[in-house]
Structure 1
Amino acid sequence: MRDDCGMRPEPGQVLHFSEDPSIERFVPHVAVTSRLSEPYVWAVGHDRCPDYWFPRACPRAMAWVGPDTSEEDAARIIGSGCGRRVHAIEYAWLQALMDVRLYAYRLPAADFAPIGNPPHAVVSKAPVFPLGPPEPVGDLFELHEEAGIQLRVLSNLWPFWNEVTASSLEFSGIRLRNARR
């Protein structure tokens, strides 16, 4: 993954991605989809930003090379000479990916603490004010290309997801409940 692509936090910042450009203050809440009962404001750091370069409800399966990834798994699932990360969505979400107007809010990193083991996001238990107005994220295909991330469009995510989760790759799945059965 290249570090020179846009839509990443600057030092001392984390990002929150939203389709709503009118948020003036982020208030901790328990997300409907959360398995946690404590209210949080959620954001991500540099490495996990690409996980959110999608419409909010879009199911996506993501995999990347980690320190324990075998060369065989990387070549089989990501492909030789195809970078170190792959994201997959379903054809049913392709138009939404092209049409979505996504915004990034820059938030002060000092207000947040890592969550998860290993950490996959950062959270705040207190309300947080953005550091400025939301920034339009722009063309999500272009963003993936600039970051060197493959973007695959599949008829169904589950065969890919099953292959990824049985491999030595690191992975994340978001909104998979919205994927085809």
Structure 2
Amino acid sequence: MSTSQEGRAHSGGRGPDGAGTSARTVSCAHCGRTNRVPAAAQGSPRCGNCRAPLPWIAEAGDADFGEIAEQASLPVLVDLWATWCGPCRMVSPALEQVAERLAGRIKLVKVDIDKSPGLARRFEVQAVPTLLILDQGRQVARQTGAAPANALRQWVDESLSASHGPAHSASRRP
């Protein structure tokens, strides 16, 4: 999946309360078919053509965080960020790479703290980016600051291993 200016993936507009819309368009890395991936659903997204796992990236806000992140059937990597934050803009592509590499095993949920002050307070965000791993709605890991994709992948793997077993094990697959 790509979220570059190529337009291969995008999210829809925003609702009146600032919450993300229900789907994002994703190109399958295996067959190239375009798929709509909902922000919230049971299981994990798969390509409608070849059934390969798709990266699950969604936006959430105060109003829909529970449905999108806490009720997810997969572990969730939460990115608490702000538009004015340079390191946040630098780490975003790395987080998307992690979501792509762990397609079918994690969900990436992005939260703009300026649009979601309730979540910023709830998670006691003191600096951005702040990254959380939620497993069945329970926080299992937290990291503040930017890091390269390989370090983020290692942190996610270690966090999930400590919680339930490795992110790459067959038991984590849908």
Q: TM-score, normalised by structure 1?
A: 0.28
Q: Which has the larger radius of gyration?
A: 1
| Greater RCO (Cα-Cα under 8 Å, separation 6 or more) | 1
Q: TM-score, normalised by structure 2?
A: 0.28
